[in-house]
Amino acid sequence: MIGAQMIGRSAFCAAGAASWVSLAALLGANPAQAAGFAGDYDPSHWILTNKFANGSANGFVNVTQAPLAITMQGSDSGSGAFGLTSYTTVSRSNGFLSFDWDYTTSDSLPVWDPFYFLLNGTLTALAEAFGPVDQSASFSSPVAEGDIFGFVIETDDDAFGPASVTITNFHAPSSKPIDVPEPASLLGLLAVLSAGAVLHRRPERSS
C-alpha cells in the first residue's frame, strides 16, 4: 500500500512539475515573429528612396532572393555629390528585430560609403568607417508598433564604386495575433498544480 501511495504521489508530482513548465510557456510566450522578407515584411511593404547626389542618386535593392535575403546597393552615378539610398518599412508590433548583414564596397574605404540601421530618423553606423572593405556582423534592436526602420547606404562622393549590403536571417515583430489559452485550460493546469502540491506535503505524524 505504501509503495502504491509513493507511486501515485510521484506521478502527481511529476504532473505538477510538467504543468508548471506548461503554464510558464503559456504565460511567458514571446510576441509573434516574422521570419525573412515575407508576410508583414514582404518587399512590397518596403519603400526605396534615393536622395541628393544632385538628383541623380541611383541606388537600388535586389529582392530576387527574398524571403531569404535582400541586397541593397548605394548610389554611384558619378555626380561627385553626397547622396543616400534608404529602404524602410513600419514595425507591425512591439518586440525585437534582428538580422545578419554582409557589407562590401568598391571604394577605397567604407567611410566613403557608410552603411547604417535607421530607426525613426536616428542612424546607427554598422560598417566600421575605417575598417576593411568587406565586413559582416549581426544586429538587433527593440522596436515598437508604428516605428519606421530600415537600412541606409550613404555616398560621400557618388563615385569610385558603390557599396552594397546583403541582409539575411531577418526577424521582426509580426502583427499575427498570438493564441491565448482559454480560461478553462489555465484552470485545468492550476488544478493539477494544486493536486500535486497537496500530495507532495509530508504526512502528519500520528500522536
In the chain, the percentage of residues whose pLDDT exceeds 90 is 68
Q: How far apart are CA 146 and CA 12, in angstroms?
A: 47
pLDDT of residue 11: 43
Summarize the confidence of residues 149-175 as an average pLDDT.
97
Mean pLDDT of the chain: 81
Q: Domain 33-173, what architecture?
A: Sandwich (2.60)
Residue 184 above 80 pLDDT?
Answer: no
Q: Name 144's Cβ contacts closer than 8 Å, sequence gap at least 6.
A: 91, 94
Q: Name 14's Cβ contacts closer than 8 Å, sequence gap at least 6.
A: none
pLDDT of residue 206: 52
Residue 186 above 60 pLDDT?
Answer: no
Q: How would you classify residue 178: left for phi > 0, otherwise alpha for psi between -120 and 50, otherwise beta? A: beta
Domain boundaries, the chain: 2-29+179-200, 33-173
Kindly list the distances between the CA atom of residue 136 and the CA atoms of 53, 104, 154, 166, 168, in Å, as whole numbers in the listed order.
27, 9, 17, 9, 11
| Residue-wise pLDDT tens digits, 101-147 | 999 999 999 999 999 999 999 999 999 999 999 999 999 999 999 99
